[in-house]
Amino acid sequence: MRIIDLWNPGKKPTVAFELFPARTPKAEENLTKTIDELSRLKPDFVSVTFGAGGSTREGSRQLAARLKHEKKLEVIAYFAGFGLGLREIASVLEGYAGIGVENVLVVRGDPPRDPGFRPQPDSLSYASELLAFIRPRFSFCLGAAGYPEGHVQSTTLEQDLDYLERKVDAGAEYVITNYFYDNRFFFHYVDRCRARRIGVPIVPGVMPIYSAKLTETLAATCGASVPEALRRALAELPGEDKQAALDFGIEFAVRQCRELLAAGVPGLLLYTMDRWESTSEIVRRLRDEGAL
């Protein structure tokens, strides 16, 4: 199924979850539990990340196959092409096509942390170039990433939209955004996209709050800002009470998602961090009140 068909006019908002391959036996045990629990929620699709420089290439393909064939879930496979040569790019995508994946989210990706990593001479520098390479060679429904607060490497918000325009012109049919904690960033982003005549569906990414420390760490890495009011609220939580932070994060995400859904977003993508408790409760509450 082409994901784009889920966002036809008149259809209900979608709900989806992002997962990433496990790197240790304990992480695998946790991922298995997460998959089992989140599958019960019957998401419209799940997305599977792809490590920098192809570091999770085989794990990402295996996880996508597991979700698609064992759990019967629709899958968007992320593809981060930084540093990979054209043959490697084609090989990875042929692997996804071989297991029946029909939807791919194309991102440039970050440089691997391995100091010995060297990009292939024929690697591509931008997501728009990857999309232009993939589009005539594969029949995937292709998507691109969006950044409501701007990509960390963009000089201005307008430059960031220049890059998004190139990605859509090169074949991106939908956009899934980085997360944000202030919905005004997303609403302003959509308005600016539409003013540029970027008309593809734009699905907001939502990151539940798991702890104050993780919130700050992820924000510094991903380029999402933490509003001062949110930072103060987290600081006021009991320092040793992990459940208090999770409960706060659930309530915050429910309010955020409620406002996004009321504004007519095509769907939500929840960044699970391979955890199920918060995501399950957020979706349950939204469904119980009829927002989803």
User: Which residues are the active-site residues?
Assistant: 18
Q: How many CB atoms lie within 10 A of CB 192?
A: 16
DSSP 265: -
Read off the tokens for 150: 């701007």
* 91: phi then psi, degrees, rounded to nearest 5: -65, -45
3-class state of residue 88 by DSSP: helix
Read off the tokens for 157: 């918000």
Cα 263 to Cα 257: distance, rounded to the nearest angstrom: 10
Cβ 46 vs Cβ 73: under 8 Å:
yes
Cα 104 to Cα 251: distance, rounded to the nearest angstrom: 31
Short-list 41, 148, 133, CA closest to 87: 133
The amino acid sitting at 60 is S
Read off the tokens for 266: 């095509």
3-class state of residue 127 by DSSP: helix
Short-list 287, 280, 231, 276, CA closest to 34: 276
Sign (positive/negative) of CA torsion 81, 86, 90, 91?
negative
